Amino acid sequence: MAHGNSTDGGLVWLISLTGKNQVKRLVISVFLVFHLVVIVSGAIPANFSLVTALHAQGFLTALTEKLAPYASPTGLQVGWSMFAPNPSRDNSYIDAEISYRDRRKHIWSFPQMQELGYAERYVKERYRKFASERLWVKENTALWPDAARYIARLNADRSNPPQTVKLVHYWFVIPPPPGQGETPPSERWGREVFFTYTVKPGDLP
C-alpha cells in the first residue's frame, strides 16, 4: 500500500508540475506575442501595400494609437519616418551655458553618442533623443524651465551658485553625397539660444 501511495503521490506531483509549466508557457507566449504586435504595428507604415490591399489603414492607425501609451515609455515605439521615405537629415544637439555668480561660465552638454561607450549608449540614447529632437521644439516650451532647473542643480556650487542657464540648440543639415570628383561642402552649424532661465535660490539643493 505504501508503494502504491508513493506512486500516486508522484503522479499527482508530476501532473501538478506539468500544469504549472503549461501556465508559464502560456504567460510567456502571451508576453512575446503582445510585444511582437507592439513592435510590428508601430513599424509598418499605414500606406504599406498589404495594409491598403486589406483596407486596414484605419485599424492599424487605431491599434498604434491604443498601444502608444505602452510603446513609448518602454522604448518600443519606432516611427516609420525614421527610415523612409524622407529620413531626417538634421544633425543636432543641445547644450547649456551656465553663468555663475563670479561671472565664470561653464558649458554642460546632454549625452552625445559619439562620446559614449556602447553600454552608456544603450542607457542614454532616449535621453539624447529627448534633448536633441524634442526639448527645443516650440510646442514643448513647458519643459524648458524644468530642464534648466535640472541642469542648475547638477552644476550647483554653494560657494559660487549658478545665476543663469541658457539652453542652446545647434544643428547642421547633412548635404547629399558629393558627386564624383566634387569636394564635400564644409559643415555650417546653426546656433540658437532658445531659452534663458534665471536661477532662484529655491531651485538649488
pLDDT tens track for 168-177: 999 998 888 8
**155-160 mean pLDDT:** 94
Spans of all domains in the chain = 2-81, 88-203
What is d(CA 16, CA 2) in angstroms, rounded to the nearest whole number?
21
What would the grid cell of residue 37 be?
Answer: 504586435
Q: Which helix (H) or strand (E) holds 9?
A: helix 2-43
CB 170 within 8 A of CB 187: no
pTM attached to this predicted model: 0.66
Instruction: Report which residue type is found at 155.
Output: N
The three-point CA angle 171-177-179 to 5° equals 140
pLDDT digits (tens, 9 = 90+) for 111-149: 888 888 888 888 888 788 888 888 999 999 999 999 999
Cα gap 13→16, rounded to integer Å: 5
Is there a contact between 96 and 166 (Cβ–Cβ < 8 Å)?
yes
**3 state DSSP class of 15:** helix
For residue 151, the one-letter residue type is I
> Higher pLDDT residue, 24 or 38?
38
Task: Please compute Rg for the chain using Cα positions.
Answer: 27
Grid cell, residue 66, equals 491604443
pLDDT in tens, 33-46: 999 999 888 878 77
